[in-house]
Structure 1
Amino acid sequence: MSGGSVAATPVPGHRTTVRVAVVGDRGTGKSSLIAAAASESFPDSVSPVLPPTRLPADYYPDGVPVTIIDTASSLEGKAKLEEELKRADAVVLTYACDKPETLNRLQTFWIPEIRRLKVKAPVIVVGCKLDLRDEHFPVSLERVMAPIMQQFREIETCIECSAANLVQVPEVFYYAQKAVLHPTAPLFDQESQTLKPRCIRALKRIFILCDHDMDSALNDKELNEFQIKCFNAPLQPAEIVGVKRVVQERVPEGVNDLGLTLTGFLFLHALFIEKGRLETTWAVLRKFGYNDDIELRKENLPVLSKKAPDQSVELTSEAVDFLIRIFSLFDSNNDGALQDSELDELFSTAPESPWDEAPYKNSVERTEFGDLRLSGFLAQWDLMTLLDPLKSLAYLIYLGYTNDPTTALRVTRKRTLDAKKQQSDRHVFQCFVFGPKNAGKSSLLSSFVGRPFQNTHGLTGNQSYTVNAVDQLRGTKKTLILHEIQEDDVKQFLSSKDSLAACDVAIFVYDSSDEYSLKRASALLMDVARRGEDTGYGVPCLFIALKDDLDSYPMAVRDSEAICREMKIDAPIRISIKKREMNNIFWRIVNAAERCHLSVPETEYGRNMKQYRHLVNRSLVFASVGAAAAVIALAAYRAYASRKSHSTS
């Protein structure tokens, strides 16, 4: 990686054009600037507002054409101006060097206006008419613009030019194009003058991928291979020596006897950016598949096969084996659990830890010290794979999964087909938890991941999940995901045709000491059962009586059992989370999901529909038999008639 003598061949992503809006006060030289850039000469006269102007692909080294949009400064053109600002990839904001008041207007009007419109495009501030500035009053551009750039971080760079003398005119739109194709913001923090965390993480991953002998340093051969991969040009021995010398002078720990260290690798990229050579770092990132947000480009990930609503996605055994190895690698003290610092290090080559926010945060069991065991680690991956398979796959790759990505995930069989076969091939089951308020849904989810019982709970969001492994017979384990559905959200949730497609089993919890709670749980069970019958996504259901440590109301047992008999599901399961009398509840949930053809509730409507379909099918059978008999009779009659005709003749 050359410090300056080897020309990088930038890879500007997949853009086919860069759209630049030129805005500023009337008379600041917008149209003259555009005309001079397009014709490479100063126009004798120019229209007040030019039509869109195109600089061809070969105008700049990146090979991407630039479309320049001139704008009017009048009130009549305000709507058009706002539209163009919102469409722009970059904004060139002009002031006149001979009119200081136009420079002040940048701070008092133009940049606040750009912010008001929520324009996210980089801004290039351009002082036009440099030739008209009074020579007796020289101005330092850096001194004038430094406080403005400090206040307004959207300003990418500042430049002064003269269209009349053709001074720095092409550079204006080169900087605008460069700000779009090779943006600073994702890579570098201007305030602290350091690489941004995502950039560091991506470069660390690239460094590890290039460190083939895994000695934490890039030797001369590895450096040369990196250079050829990214820039299609080898480094000469003298250039490698030069690179190492530059690093060692500034960052002694950046080079050791084995070669260039990660510290040195990161320093070089910070140096390139400080010198304005962002295209070098972007060329490296894009060569390794990153987009402008410093994430792996989705088009570089394999297309997941289309799945039906009642299919899910799981990790393959190959991916699980990889994750077990990664876990062991980062379990530095070999205690069978990852501390937060070890987990942070494990994800240090990814854009960030994927589990710091909902729905993953607090979804798995931790040790008393807050560490994550292997079972919880794998369960968390199962949850992410079920909810967002593409994200799960991307993070496997961030962590170093180098096998064919298509070997990492599998699509399960349709659950409707599982029901017909009366068995499931899934390793991960999702359970929807329904129930009225204060029934104990959150307590159940918390108990599943080993959290102690509390009278108040924090798991009350619309996307509350907990996940854990559940021991089965014959020593096997299944992953169970509990997804809490808030009572207020059930109606909207069930309005979707496919709402139950992702559900392997549904449970309905109620407070066994509260008659109203039982009635509400029963109503929810009825709603879910009807929705399943309407859509064909009927699911196994269990009725669960929580707070069994409290005194039941009179007739509670009889009423709840009658509901279950009516719906043709198993009798209620009674548990007390407070007393830790769980009655094998999680094993029972998994068992119901595996035996997916059983415990599917039936309503009166469903039974009538089933009887109706049975009668229709019988009628069709009788009709088919009758039609066949008629055909046979007709054929026999024709044969008889034919024979009679022959005998007569």
Structure 2
Amino acid sequence: MASKSNTNVVGEKTEVRVVVVGDHGTGKSSLIVSAANEAFPQQVPPVLPITCLPADYYPDRVPVTIVDTSSSLENRNKLSQELKLADAVVLTYACDQPVTLDRLSTFWLPELRRLDVNVPVIVVGCKLEVRDDTQTSLEQVMSPIMQQFREIETCIECSAKNLIQVPEVFYYAQKAVLHPTGPLFDQETQTLRPRCVRALKRIFILCDQDRDGALSDAELNDFQVKCFNAPLQPSEIMRVKRVVQEKLSEGVNENGLSLTGFLFLHALFIEKGRLETTWTVLRKFGYDNDIKLRDDLIPVLFKRAPDQSVELSNEAIEFLKRIFCLFDIDTDGTLRPAELDDLFSTAPESPWNEAPYKDAAQKTALGGLSLDGFLSKWSLMTLLEPAKSLANLIYIGYAGDAASALRITRRRRADCKKQHSERNVFQCFVFGPTKAGKSVLLNSFLGRPIPESYTPTTTEHFATSVVDKETRKTLILREIPEDGVKPLLSSKEFLAACDVAIFVHDCSDEQSWKKATKMLIDVASHGEGSGFEVPCLIVAAKEDLDPYSMAAQDSVRVSRDMGIESPIPISTKLGDLNDVYRKIISAAERPHLSIPETEVGRSRKQYRQLVNRSLMFVSVGAAVTVVGLAAYRVYAARKNSSS
């Protein structure tokens, strides 16, 4: 497999900016002029103006902008500015001046690191024509330097005077930008990087049309045509497979080129410096320089009002059910960690290895995920990061229309007016003071035991599970630490994503009740002020302990005054949760109920009612006046006609 066309896909780069640096007298300006004019200049200024190599200068048809620099101390600021704009750096030394070679590792390369210039570096030995033939070879000289400075992409010697390897200097610089080594290959281990392997595995699976685990001759030819716009002759296919089989017996089987062989081929291309071949393949299948699907392949379907959410469509859910069964190799109804890793092996990485997803769903006894747990995690990711969810659906093989994978829910304001929510996934904010029992409530939701020692919650945690299997209603609990409430209240729209809020307190601790009540009032006031009122429930945790003396009276008073239900008593220690999770879902499904009302809210409501009544009175009075005036005109007209 190789490119037979000069029109490789090279990503979104429309030009490559190369900055040339090095000690004074190393031949920077002469190198640039010789490349641009294909002739050695007899005289050059100390610093050249910006030089451009046109798009047709190199096969990739991307123009190269070359910036000459001065190494003098008074121009250091200008040098720093140019380096920060560079796509690649050409670093020169003079072949006849060993001190300039030493300066690469003692000054220039450390200086690039100090300036945080993280771009490929091409080291160029200029004035090759005056190089002493008895000197150590370039490879021997540069090998220890390249070991120390991995940012060096390649080294080359050239002669601007004799026009030896001059165009190659900027070709390597351009190639290092358009077809970088770093994302594909680990120079230290001499292996393909994991993300590159994952992308190539996905491409292999997409091309393996008959799903027999190998690319047949016909499939290889289709692959070649798709990527390089040219077919492979039967003799070429045979030669490719023979090369692989000689080096790796398992790379070819009776059905064709195996995945192992496919990966080996790409490693071979990269080792031989043909990175453009692998990059062409990746880009033809939609990958960017970070080996992720390009943004334009993930439709922007997620523009929505703050109180709308995103859910998986029925089509996506059915796809995920099939994927679950496909990767449940032992058919035990559980995706074990190894099976999950295999499922996401065609994605850049598993999306659930880190918070907030890592421990957000109930694990089975085997440490894996049931189908409900699997779908719940997808629901959580779709709610929090819909673009990420859609990208991962595509990575693992979703082939349907991307627009059909997700759905945007109706606005919660509309749900309130219709007195019913059509959502299948509800997000519940869990408020409460420290030690109230918030974390235990989340752990119980996921079937986890109560920890023996208390650990305060310092960051937001999520727990998700299917509550009603018949209607497949999924609940997402989002625990808000006590000291995280105030920062959230500073955002006008923070309640827009909340379908229902619960306020947990320790029923044996009066201070816990007071803090929870204050949070309830603050959140309710915020909802009234922002227009994102949410249903609220109070949860009286630790029901197994004796309540404080005024608990009953306080709870009745607050519930009555704010117009919400009485606190739901639970005891996680005794396993008596009083069906609290279903009650949360029920409150979210009927969002017009359980909305608390504060004194300020009541006053505002009464004021609006008073204004509306006044307007109504004015309207009625105006109508009476108009009717009276019309009657008078009729009377006057009749009187005039009779006379």
In which range does the TM-score fall when normalised by the shorter chain? over 0.9
User: Does the residue aligned with 1:22 lie in a helix, a strand or coil?
Assistant: strand
Instruction: Pick closer, same or farther for the CA change 1:152–1:619 going to 2, 3 Å.
Output: same
Q: Structure 1 residue 161 and structure 2 residue 161: aligned?
A: no
Query: Contact 2:51/2:66 (CA < 8 Å) preserved in 1?
Result: yes
Separation in structure 1 between the aligned mates of residue 628 and residue 503 of structure 2, nearest angstrom: 58
Q: Aligned-pair distance for 1:477?
A: 2.6
The answer on 1:250 being equivalent to 2:264 is: no
Residue 65 of structure 2 is aligned with which of 67, 81, 92? 67
Report what 1:496 is aligned to.
491
Match of 2:147 among 146, 150, 165: 150
- What is the CA-CA distance between 1:396 and the residue it aligns to? 0.5
Q: C-alpha distance in 2, partners of 1:635/1:69?
A: 86
Q: CA deviation at 1:638?
A: 5.1
Q: Match of 2:141, SS? A: helix
Measure, in 2, the Cα distance between the counterparts of 1:573 and 1:587: 12
Match of 1:376 in 2: 373
The amino acid of 1:332's aligned partner reads: I
Distance in 1 (CA, whole Å) between partners of 2:337 and 2:323 is 15
- Once residues 35 and 209 of structure 1 are traced to their aligned partners in structure 2, the CA distance between those partners, rounded to angstroms, is 47
Deviations 1:104-156 (A, max 9, x none): 22212222222222222111111112222223x33311111111111111111
**CA-to-aligned-CA distance 1:592-616 (integer Å, 9 cap, x gap):** 1111111111000000101111111
Structure 2 CA distance for aligned equivalents of residues 47 and 620 of structure 1:
83
Asked if residue 238 in structure 1 is aligned to residue 252 in structure 2, the reply is no
Work out which of the residue numbers 276, 280, 289 in structure 2 matches 1:279. Answer: 276
Counterpart in the other structure of 1:559 = 554
2:101 maps to which residue?
Answer: 103
CA distance in 2, matches of 1:193, 1:573: 61
The correspondence of residues 21-32 of structure 1 with structure 2, limited to 5 A, is 21-32=19-30
CA contact (8 A) 2:7 2:61 kept: no
Show the 5 A alignment for 1:128-143: 128-135=126-133, 137-143=134-140
Give the structure 2 partner of residue 12 of structure 1. 10
CA contact (8 A) 2:5 2:229 kept: no
Q: Provide the secondary structure at the position in 2 that maps to 1:212.
A: coil
Asked whether 1:575 is paired with 2:570, we answer yes
Cα deviations by residue, 1:395-420 (Å, 9 ceiling, x for unpaired): 00111110111110000000011011
2:298 — aligned with what? 301
Could you say if the C-alpha distance between residues 293 and 625 of structure 1 is closer, same or farther in structure 2, counting changes exceeding 3 Å? same
- Cα separation, 1, equivalents of 2:305 and 2:116: 39
Displacement of 1:627 in angstroms is: 3.1
Task: Return the letter of the residue paired with 1:270.
Answer: A
SS in 2 for 1:501: helix
**For 1:603, which of 598, 602, 612 is the aligned residue?**
598
After TM superposition, the structure 1 = structure 2 runs for residues 256-335 of structure 1, keeping only pairs within 5 Å, are: 256-335=253-332
**8 Å contact 1:23–1:30 — kept in the other structure?**
yes
The superposition leaves residues 262-299 of structure 1 with CA deviations (integer Å, 9 ceiling, x where unpaired) of 11111111111111111110111000000000010011
How far apart are 1:552 and its partner, in Å? 2.0
Q: Which moved more, 1:591-600 or 1:160-169?
A: 160-169
- Paired amino acid for 1:217: A
Counterpart selection for 2:36 from 21, 35, 38: 38
Which secondary structure state, in structure 1, belongs to the residue aligned with residue 463 of structure 2?
strand
1:368 Cα shift? Answer: 2.1
Equivalent position SS for 2:399 = coil
Tell me the distance in 2 between the aligned counterparts of 1:161 and 1:283.
29
Partner of 1:512: 507
Moved more, 637-646 or 408-417: 637-646
CA distance in 2 between partners of 1:584 and 1:85 (Å): 63
What displacement does 1:545 show?
1.2
- What displacement does 1:527 show? 0.5
Partner of 1:172: 169
Structure 1 residue 497, shift from structure 2 partner: 0.9
Instruction: From 612, 617, 632, give the equivalent of 1:617.
Output: 612
Deviation at 1:458, TM superposition (A): 5.9
CA distance in 2, matches of 1:555, 1:283: 73
SS at match of 2:360: coil
Query: Tell me, what secondary structure is at the counterpart of 1:286?
Result: helix
**Aligned: 1:468 with 2:465:** yes
Q: Distance in 1 between matches of 2:634 and 2:65?
A: 83
Name the amino acid aligned to 1:355. Answer: W
Provide the C-alpha distance between the structure 2 equivalents of 1:336 and 1:156, rounded to a whole number of angstroms: 49
**Contact 1:8/1:283 (<8 A) preserved:** no
Corresponding residue number in structure 1 for 2:394: 397
Distance 1:511 1:647, change over 3 A: same
Preserved contact between residue 58 and residue 65 of structure 1 (Cα < 8 Å) = yes
Give the Å deviation of 1:632: 4.0
Going from structure 1 to structure 2, the CA distance change for 1:515 and 1:36 (only over 3 Å counts) comes to same
The C-alpha deviation readout for 1:30-63, integer Å capped at 9, x for no partner, is 2221122111111121121222111111111101
CA shift in 2, pair 1:580/1:134, >3 Å = same
- CA-atom RMSD in angstroms: 1.6
2:521 equivalent in structure 1: 526
Amino acid at match of 1:146: S
| Structure 1 range deviating more: 67-76 or 626-635 | 626-635
In the superposition, relative to structure 1, how do residues 457 and 647 fare at CA in structure 2: closer, same or farther (>3 Å)?
same
Report the equivalent of 1:86: 84
Letter paired with 1:43? P
Paired AA for residue 361 in structure 2: V
Contact 2:435 2:456 (C-alpha < 8 Å) held by counterparts: no
Letter in 2 for 1:92: V
CA distance 1:562–1:162, shift in 2 (3 Å): same
- Deviations 1:289-347 (Å, cap 9, x if unpaired)? 00000010011122214210000000011100000000000101110001111110011
Render the CA deviation track for 1:563-584: whole Å, top value 9, x for unaligned. 2222111111111112211111
CA distance in 1, matches of 2:360, 2:533: 27
What is the alpha-carbon distance in structure 1 between the residues aligned to residue 474 and residue 389 of structure 2? 16
Q: Does 1:540 align with 2:535?
A: yes
Please give the alpha-carbon distance, in whole angstroms, between the structure 1 residues aligned to 2:629 and 2:67: 81
> Within the alignment, does 1:447 sit opposite 2:467 as a pair?
no
The residue type paired with residue 167 of structure 1 is: I
How far, CA to CA, are the matches of 1:625 and 1:58 in structure 2?
A: 80
CA distance in 1, matches of 2:23, 2:637: 101
Q: Do the aligned partners of residues 148 and 568 (structure 1) sit closer, same or farther apart at CA in structure 2, a change above 3 Å counting?
A: same
In the aligned structure 1, how far is the partner of 2:496 from the partner of 2:514? 26
1:212 aligned partner: 209
Aligned-partner Cα distance in 1 for 2:620–2:22: 85
SS where residue 430 of structure 1 aligns? Answer: strand
SS class of match (2:476): strand
The TM-score normalised by the length of structure 1 is 0.96
Q: Distance in 1 between matches of 2:389 and 2:481?
A: 26
- The equivalent position to 2:583 in structure 1, one of 562, 583, 588, is 588
Structure 2 alignment gaps of length 5 or more = none
**Percentage of matched positions with identical amino acids:** 66
Q: 1:326 to 1:8 in 2, by over 3 A?
A: farther
2:129 & 2:635 partners in 1: Cα distance? Answer: 112
> Offset at 1:561?
2.6
How many angstroms apart in 1 are the aligned matches of 2:633 and 2:162?
104
Partner of residue 384 from structure 2, selected from 384, 387, 390: 387
Q: Work out the CA distance in 2 between the residues paired with 1:646 and 1:276.
A: 107
1:366–1:372 contact (8 Å) kept in structure 2: yes
Aligned residues of 1:17 and 1:66 also touching (Cα < 8 A): yes
2 CA distance for matches of 1:14 and 1:274? 25
Q: Please state if 1:338 is matched with 2:335.
A: yes
- Count of matched residue positions in the alignment of Structure 1 and Structure 2: 643
Counterpart of 1:538 in 2: which secondary structure? coil
